[in-house]
Amino acid sequence: MSSDPVSPSSPTAARSYEAAEDSFDVIPESATSSTFPDPTKFSRCDILIVGGGPCGMVIGSEFLRQGLNVRMVEATTVRPADTSRATIVHSRTVEVFEQIGGTEFLDTFLPKGVRIQGINTFALFGRRFRIPVQHFESAYPYEVSIPQHNTETILQDHFQKKGGKREIGQKLIRFTQTEEKVTAIIQNTETKEVEEITSQFLVGADGSRSLVRKLSAIPFEGITYNDNCLVGEVVIPGLPPDEVFIVPTSGGLVSALPLPTGKYRFRVNIFIPKGSVPGDFNSKSVPVEFFETMLKLYFPFPFEPLDENHNISRYSVHRRMAKTFRDRRVFLCGDAAHVHSPVGGQGMNTGISDAFNLGWKLSHVLKGYAKDELLNTYQPERLAVAQVLLNRTDKMFGLLVGHGFFNKCLRAFSPTAVMLQFQFASFNQWMVKFLSGTNIRYTRSALTTHEDAARLVKFDDQSPHSGTRAPDIEDMIRINDPERKPRRLYLNLSPDYSLLVFTAQTASNRLSPDQIESIQSISSRYHLNPLIFYKDGGDSQSESKSDASSASSSSFNDHVYLDKDGQGHRRYGADELSIYLLRPDQYIAFRAKLQTDEKLQDLLNLLKEDLVKTKYVIEATN
C-alpha cells in the first residue's frame, strides 16, 4: 500500500484534481481569538463527542452500553436533511446496530428501509445482468436502502432512550489537552453561554469539515472531483422496488436506489464527466428541466414527470483522508477522518465501523480492563481499511466517470466484462462480500495472534482465521433452558471479549469440574464472556434435560450450550477441543486447538499469556 493514499499526483487523481477548498482547512476566528468570553459553566465527563451524526450516535451508544459518562455536542439545530445521499446500509453495519441496540433496535430500523435483493446493470444491446446480494453468511444477508436522515433519527432516539442527550446548538470553539485530560470550550449558539467541559478523551465525529481535525492541525489531503454529480428522487413504475440499477453509457453513469417512501420511488444519481454538458454547475441548485433531460438521455426506463418536490440538487465528490486518526487524547472517525466517492455505498458504513472499533477500545481503557496501549491499535486497523477503500473506490469512480475516449469505451463494454467475471464463483463471492462489508479483516493487527507466533497447531484452511470476522451460529441451545429455545451466537456476546470453547464432545461427556473451574477462573480474571459448546448427540432434548438436572444449581450453566447439528463446530473447524477468543466487535483475536498429549489447561495458559502480552488486558483485582 502507498504511504500517501490520497496524493493528488496519482494518475486517477490528476484527471479530475481541483484545488483544496478553503473550508477543509480554515479555522474559525473564534477558535484563535484571545478576547473570547470566559466560561460561566464547568463540567466533567469520561468522553466528549463532537458531532451528532450517525458516527457520533453509534460511538455514543457504545459508550452508554459500556456504562460510561458521555457528552455529545452538535453545532446545528436543524433536523437532518432529507436530501442526504447515504442511502445504503450494509449487512455488516446492520450487525453493528444489533450489537449496540439488540433486536429491539432492528425491530424499529429494518421496517423503515427496503431490503435490497439484487444489483442490476446493463451490457451491450440492453442486455440486463443481475447480481444477487444474498450469498454470504449473516443473519442479515441483504443491503438496506434507507435515507441517512432516517437512520440518524433512529440512532438518535436509541441514544436518548439509553440515557444520552444530543445537545444541539452547542458549538465547539477550541480545546486544549494534556497527558491526563482534554479541556474543551463550548458555546451555546442561541444564548451565547460558554461552558468548559473536561473529559478524559475527545472524539471528533463532526464531518468532513471537522473543526476537531483542524484544531489538531491534522492535514486532510486529497482531491475534489470536478465532474457533475446530480441527485434527485424519481418515481419509476417499471422497476422492481427492491432492486438497485446501475446504467453506464458513453455519456455518463446513472444509479437508481429504491426508497422506502414509495413503492416505485428511487434516489437517482447522475454522474456526468466534466465538459460533457454546457452550462455553469457551480450552483448546488439544478433546474428540474435539466435533470429530467439528462435522465431521459442516459436512463432507459420511463419515469413520472418531475417537479420541485423531487429534492433535486448537485453535490461534489471528494477523496480525502486525514494524515492521522489520532492526536494523543483526541480521535477522529467517519467523515472527519476520510471521505471518498459514493461507489459501493461505503462512506457512512465505514464511518460506523470506525466508531464501533474505537468505542469498545476507549471503553475498555476507561473501565480499567485494558492498558492505554490498546488505543494504539485504532489507527492501524481503521486507517488501513480506509486506505484500501479510498484507493478502490477512486479507481472505480475515475474509470466509470472519466471523460476520455477510453472511459467512454469502458462504460460501454464494462458491463459485459463484469458479466463474464461473475461466471466465476470466487469473483461473485468476493464482490458480494465487498458490497456487504463482511470482508473487512484485521489479520495484520497487533491484536491478532497467529498460530505460528503462538506455537499453536494450525487449523485447516476452511476454518476462520485470526483477524477475520467470526462466523455466527444460529442453532445453539442453552443447556439449562427448559424451552430449548434456539439462540444466536452474536446475540449472546457481551461488550467484552468472549471465550468460545468447542469441546468436540456430546453433553454426555462433560468437561471435568477442574476444567470448568479453569475456564471460570480465566474468564473472571480477564473480563471474558465464556461460552462452552457441546455437540448435539442426536437427542438434544433428553441431553439438555439430563445435563441440567445434574448441575442445575450451577449458574455457570448459563454459559453452556448444545451445538445443534454440530453447526458451530463445523464453522469453526473444531474437530478437536478448540478455543477461540472473540473481540467485542466479533473479530477473532486468538484460536488454539488441542494437540496430542495436551490438556485444556495448556491452551488456557497460552491464552492467558496472549491476553497480557498482545491484547493489553489488565487482570481483575477481585
Domain boundaries, the chain: 11-87+147-221+319-394, 115-140+226-316+402-440, 451-613
Kindly report, residue by residue over 371-409, the tens digit of the pLDDT: 999 999 999 999 999 988 877 766 666 555 555 555 555
pLDDT bin (cut points 50, 70, 90) of residue 597 is low
Do the bridges between strand 252-258 and strand 243-249 make them parallel or antiparallel, or are there none, so unpaired? antiparallel
Residue 25's closest CA among 208, 259, 280, 231? 208
SS3 612: helix
Q: What does the pLDDT read at residue 190?
A: 94
Return mean pLDDT, the chain.
83
Q: Grid coordinates 494504539 are at which residue?
A: 376
Q: Grid coordinates 434435560 are at which residue?
A: 545
| pLDDT over threshold 50, residue 199 | yes
Counting Cβ atoms within 10 Å, is residue 145 exposed (0-12), middle (13-18) or buried (19+)? Answer: buried
State CA 374 to chain mean position distance.
19
Q: What does the pLDDT read at residue 7?
A: 31
Q: What does the pLDDT read at residue 541?
A: 53
- Range name among 415-419, 429-433, 615-619 with the lowest pLDDT average: 415-419
- Distance, in Å, from the CA atom of 418 to the CA atom of 425, rounded to the nearest integer, reads 13
Q: Which residues contact 309 (CB under 8 A, 6 or more apart)?
A: none
SS3 255: strand
Q: What is the mean pLDDT of residues 84-99?
A: 88
Q: Grid coordinates 452508554 are at which residue?
A: 64
| pLDDT over threshold 60, residue 22 | no
Q: What does the pLDDT read at residue 10?
A: 33
| pLDDT over threshold 60, residue 413 | no
Q: What does the pLDDT read at residue 359?
A: 98
240 CB neighbour count, 10 Å cutoff:
13
- Identify the residue with better confidence: 394 or 194: 194
Residue 60's closest CA among 161, 194, 209? 161
Contact 335, 74 (CB under 8 A): no
**What percent of the chain lies above the pLDDT cut of 70?**
78
pLDDT bin (cut points 50, 70, 90) of residue 228 is confident
Beta bridge partners of 476: 487, 563
- Distance, in Å, from the CA atom of 21 to the CA atom of 17, rounded to the nearest integer, reads 12
Could you tell me the end-to-end alpha-carbon distance of the chain, in angstroms, rounded to an integer?
A: 45
Contact 533, 501 (CB under 8 A): yes
Cα Rg of the chain (Å, integer) = 26
- Identify the residue with better confidence: 27 or 301: 301
- Distance, in Å, from the CA atom of 319 to the CA atom of 213, rounded to the nearest integer, reads 16
SS3 141: coil
Describe the chain by its helix, strand, coil percentages, rounded to 5: 35, 25, 40
**What percent of the chain lies above the pLDDT cut of 90?**
53
Would you state the cell numbers that stand for residue 578, as one nine-digit string? 478448540
Kindly report, residue by residue over 290-348, the tens digit of the pLDDT: 899 889 988 888 999 887 777 888 887 888 999 999 999 999 999 999 998 776 567 89
- Distance, in Å, from the CA atom of 147 to the CA atom of 198, rounded to the nearest integer, reads 35
Beta bridge partners of 267: 233, 257
* CATH (residue range 115-140+226-316+402-440): 3.30.9.10
Q: What does the pLDDT read at residue 562?
A: 96
Counting Cβ atoms within 10 Å, is residue 39 exposed (0-12), middle (13-18) or buried (19+)? Answer: middle
Q: Grid coordinates 487449523 are at which residue?
A: 459
DSSP-H helix ranges across 207-346:
211-215, 288-298
- Distance, in Å, from the CA atom of 206 to the CA atom of 336, rounded to the nearest integer, reads 6
Would you state the cell numbers that stand for residue 451, as one nine-digit string? 498460530
- Distance, in Å, from the CA atom of 415 to the CA atom of 412, rounded to the nearest integer, reads 7
Q: Which residues contact 443 (CB under 8 A, 6 or more apart)?
A: 450, 465, 466, 467, 468
- Identify the residue with better confidence: 586 or 19: 586
| pLDDT over threshold 60, residue 134 | yes
**Residues 451-613, CATH architecture:** 3-Layer(aba) Sandwich (3.40)
The fold adopted by the segment(s) 11-87+147-221+319-394 is FAD/NAD(P)-binding domain (3.50.50)
SS3 363: helix
Kindly report, residue by residue over 142-169, the tens digit of the pLDDT: 899 999 999 999 999 999 999 999 999 9
- Distance, in Å, from the CA atom of 399 to the CA atom of 235, rounded to the nearest integer, reads 29
Do the bridges between strand 114-116 and strand 118-122 make them parallel or antiparallel, or are there none, so unpaired? unpaired
Contact 133, 143 (CB under 8 A): yes
Residue 439's closest CA among 458, 452, 426, 449? 426
Phi, psi of 251 (to 5 degrees): -95, -10
Would you state the cell numbers that stand for residue 73, as one nine-digit string? 455536542
Across the chain, how many H-helices and E-strands are there? 15, 28
- Distance, in Å, from the CA atom of 423 to the CA atom of 420, rounded to the nearest integer, reads 5
Phi, psi of 620 (to 5 degrees): -65, 145
Residue 508's closest CA among 482, 545, 453? 545
Residue 198's closest CA among 377, 42, 37, 374? 42
Quote the longest CA-to-CA distance of the chain: 81
φ/ψ region of 452 (left if φ > 0, alpha if ψ in -120 to 50, else beta) reads alpha
| pLDDT over threshold 90, residue 365 | yes
pLDDT bin (cut points 50, 70, 90) of residue 17 is very low
**What is the per-residue DSSP string for 216-236?**
TT--EEEEE--SEEEEEEEE-
The sign of the dihedral angle between the CA atoms of 180, 185, 188, 194 is positive
Kindly report, residue by residue over 436-471, the tens digit of the pLDDT: 788 899 999 999 988 665 556 667 778 899 999 999
pLDDT bin (cut points 50, 70, 90) of residue 11 is very low
Residue 526's closest CA among 448, 593, 604? 604
Would you state the cell numbers that stand for residue 220, as one nine-digit string? 486532510
Q: What does the pLDDT read at residue 559?
A: 93
Would you state the cell numbers that stand for residue 248, as one nine-digit string? 453506464
| pLDDT over threshold 60, residue 410 | no
Distances (CA, A) of 569 to 19, 205, 575, 601: 55, 40, 7, 20
Kindly report, residue by residue over 555-587, the tens digit of the pLDDT: 688 899 999 999 999 999 998 899 999 999 999
Across the beta sheet with 265-272, the strand order is 128-132, 118-122, 243-249, 252-258, 265-272, 228-235, 313-315
Secondary structure of 1-63 in HEC code, one letter for each residue: CCCCCCCCCCHHHHHHCCCCCHHHCCCCHHHCCCCCCCCCEEEEEEEEEECCCHHHHHHHHHH
Kindly report, residue by residue over 165-180, the tens digit of the pLDDT: 999 999 999 999 999 9
